[in-house]
Amino acid sequence: MKIKVVPSINVIISKNQNISTSQNISFEQNISKSQNISPEQNISKSQNILPEQKIACIVYVHGTIGRLGNRMFLVASAYGLARLHSCHLYIELKMINELKSVFILDLSPLLISSSTFNSFTSNSSKSMNRISQNVPCDYITTLTRPNAIPSGTIFELIGYWQSYLHFAKYDEELRQRIFVALQSVLEKVSNFFIQFYRRKRGYRPQFLLENHQSFKRQLAQLNSTTWIGIHVRRSDFIGLSYSSSDAYLFDAIKYYTTRYPNAHFIVTSDDKPYCKKLFRKQSNILLTPGTYSVGDDLVILSLCQHSIITGGTFGWWAGYLTGGEVIHDKIYPSGCSRREYYYPPWFLIDGNVRAYKNTEYILR
């Protein structure tokens, strides 16, 4: 298989939208230093948001739909809309706490507390118009228009909101201070790399675990190894007929080993016994420990330089946060009506992709 980039259809963007689908997206500068503090501490200490403060509009995420990748799409899309329309952001505490078990999740200064949000929903003198929109996987271009979320509105996201274009303008903020690993998670996954270099290279590297991006740079500077992350999703995909073939995985591995002679691969999967058997003869392919959580697996993949993805939102986020080259299987049905709504242009896909499950309709 020859991996190649298939050109995406250009996204039509209004003048006010100011989003590009190329890699050269301009981002906000001077991102504040991330802090590992609770949502309520964010509000009281760093955000200084008070119930009396004027709040023009609120973007609201209710409930905890799906698993980690689904929730990251919801939070990222809500954050992007709140930033775009100068709204505040309210995410229910259960979802905040689940994501903060993995990430710093610094949503300041947008995030408001439950008490502040409730003051608008229960106090008739502060009542706001409530609008909800259910989106599975599409890019809602009308939301880029001025006043698409007008003053005096609570805009609720329902569904999955799985188009990255809703937050593409702020993707540097997502990578630098929101979906950034906690110190405790970095310390845990750093042992994986330390043990590898001790056993395979004969030395113990001294990593400075200041933050996620700093650790990622240190790994990239160890020129003896190019790290490639592999996510293999199988359990629920097999019965749905969109699990990736072994041939796809080995072709993608061959692509990277040809390109990077020092390539080593880190495999995460919901079927590690299968992967252990599949890659048993490959000395440069390592599986994450069985003690790793889903969050640990995502963080260690994001620390790699390149990726191989089978399908699903967990794998999508692994590739997106990693950057570099991302090989993605074409068998996975994204659910989006256009290819470029789900797949960034730097994802490498060999041919057309499926749009929906139980259909032959493809996206070119």
**pLDDT per residue as tens digits for the range 240-254:** 888 999 999 999 999
Residue 315 inside a domain? The answer is yes
Separation between Cα atoms, residue 336 and residue 31, nearest integer Å: 31
- Cis omega (within 30 of 0) on the bond before 109? yes
Separation between Cα atoms, residue 107 and residue 178, nearest integer Å: 7
For residue 76 the two structure tokens come to 């990222």
Structural domain of 251: 181-349
Q: Are residues 93 and 115 in the same domain?
A: yes
| pLDDT at site 363 | 65
For residue 90 the two structure tokens come to 């309210």
Average pLDDT over residues 327-343: 92
Selected residue with higher pLDDT from 337 and 315: 315
**The pTM of the whole model exceeds 0.75:** yes
| Residue in this structure with the two tokens 């599986």, named with its chain if needed | 287
| pLDDT at site 23 | 33
Q: Are residues 172 and 187 in the same domain?
A: no
Q: Are residues 197 and 98 in the same domain?
A: no
Separation between Cα atoms, residue 362 and residue 364, nearest integer Å: 6
Which of 28, 268, 63 minimizes the C-alpha distance to 171? 28
Which of 25, 34, 38, 18 minimizes the C-alpha distance to 99? 38
Separation between Cα atoms, residue 112 and residue 153, nearest integer Å: 15
Average pLDDT over residues 142-160: 95
The residue out of 142, 177, 212 marking a domain boundary is: 177
Domain CATH for 304 = 3.40.50
Q: Are residues 340 and 193 in the same domain?
A: yes
The residue out of 177, 210, 230 marking a domain boundary is: 177
Average pLDDT value over all residues in the chain:
85
Please count the structural domains in the chain: 2
Q: Are residues 196 and 212 in the same domain?
A: yes
Dump pLDDT digits (tens) for 63-92: 778 899 999 999 999 999 999 999 999 999
The residue out of 145, 177, 209 marking a domain boundary is: 177
Q: Are residues 148 and 194 in the same domain?
A: no
Q: Are residues 76 and 97 in the same domain?
A: yes
Which of 61, 105, 102 minimizes the C-alpha distance to 82? 61
Separation between Cα atoms, residue 35 and residue 178, nearest integer Å: 10
What pLDDT band is residue 358 in, cutting at 50, 70 and 90?
Answer: low
Decide if pLDDT at 4 tops 90: no
Which of 53, 49, 62, 110 minimizes the C-alpha distance to 82? 110
| pLDDT at site 223 | 83
Q: Please, what sign has the CA dihedral across residues 114, 117, 121, 124?
A: positive
Dump pLDDT digits (tens) for 258-273: 999 999 999 999 999 9
Q: Are residues 165 and 187 in the same domain?
A: no
Separation between Cα atoms, residue 312 and residue 168, nearest integer Å: 19
